[in-house]
Amino acid sequence: MQVYSPIKNPFSSRISFLFFLILGFSSSSLKSQELLNNENKKFIFDFGGTFGAFFPYNGEDGFKNTIGSNAMTTLQATYKNSYFVRFKFGQTTVNYKTHVSFNSLQSKVDVKSNSTSIGLDIGYQRLYGRWQPFVFAGSGLAIIEEPKISYHSFNNQIDYGTKSSTNLYINAGFGVNYIISKSFIILGECQFYSVPGISKNSLTHLNGVSPVIGIKALL
């Protein structure tokens, strides 16, 4: 007695695989749209924070700023999943190291420069599956604490301290959101930051670029 097994058609198997692959991609795209399906909502709000490094631009000769850090808290309002305004509050810290000399006195300086900022950004974003690239630009106020070094010739003494100033800052950048769920979004962005009011003779150059990562919660 002979038993015949059914002949498998390789072409049919490929068609089935392709069908399920397309179905999987369609389902993934549909789910990502459902995650941010807010067509009935004109405004969407989210709250989050970012953290990353800060790389100062090249400053004047003799000013040696090293890599710093940048942390930011944000509250964002998005209109029709595209245009957004975000309020942000944060701090940038940059180490400053140099060597100063006054007459016969020499000293090594190793301090930190801090900038506490508050401001607004406006931007545009667009959804591609679970990915949502965006661009932004904004401005605000930066309260800067920078090192102050002074020399007194009458007693041949160097004094160290800090001075504070409030300046206007401007920034711009780009980034991308990744939709995890209906409640959470992770993001990465690159910020270009400048404080035009800082004097060229300042002991800090808090103008630079900052790559950051973060997470946001939809409200």
Is the same domain home to 11 and 93?
no
pLDDT greater than 60 at residue 120: yes
Q: For residue 198, give the DSSP letter.
A: S
List the one residue out of 37, 30, 45, 48 whose CA is nearest residue 175.
48
With cut-offs at 50, 70 and 90, classify the pLDDT of residue 114.
Answer: confident
Q: What is the CATH number of the domain that holds 188?
A: 2.40.160.20
- Asked if residue 1 belongs to a domain, the reply is no
pLDDT greater than 70 at residue 199: no
Alpha-carbon span 33 to 129, nearest angstrom: 7
Alpha-carbon span 152 to 34, nearest angstrom: 68
Is the same domain home to 11 and 105?
no
Considering the chain, what is the average pLDDT of its residues?
A: 78
Alpha-carbon span 72 to 197, nearest angstrom: 22
Is the same domain home to 69 and 25?
no
- Full residue range of the structural domain in which residue 128 is found: 38-218
- Asked if residue 2 belongs to a domain, the reply is no
Strands (E) located in 156-199: 157-179, 184-194
List the one residue out of 61, 54, 63 whose CA is nearest residue 97.
63
How do residues 41-80 score in pLDDT, each as one tens digit?
Answer: 788 999 999 999 998 876 545 555 578 899 999 999 999 8
Strands (E) located in 57-152: 68-79, 83-102, 105-125, 131-152
- Asked if residue 85 belongs to a domain, the reply is yes
Are 74 and 111 contacting, i.e. CB atoms less than 8 angstroms apart?
no
With cut-offs at 50, 70 and 90, classify the pLDDT of residue 149.
Answer: confident
Is the same domain home to 24 and 89?
no
Is the same domain home to 76 and 177?
yes
Total length of the chain: 219
What is the count of structural domains for the chain? 2
Alpha-carbon span 31 to 37, nearest angstrom: 9
14-29 CB burial, b ≥16 within 10 A, e <16: eeeeeeeeeeeeeeee
How do residues 79-106 score in pLDDT, each as one tens digit?
Answer: 988 999 999 999 998 877 666 666 766 7
Counting Cβ atoms within 10 Å, is residue 100 exposed (0-12), middle (13-18) or buried (19+)? middle
Alpha-carbon span 132 to 124, nearest angstrom: 10
- Asked if residue 201 belongs to a domain, the reply is yes
Give 65 or 196, the one with higher predicted confidence. Answer: 196
Alpha-carbon span 72 to 140, nearest angstrom: 13
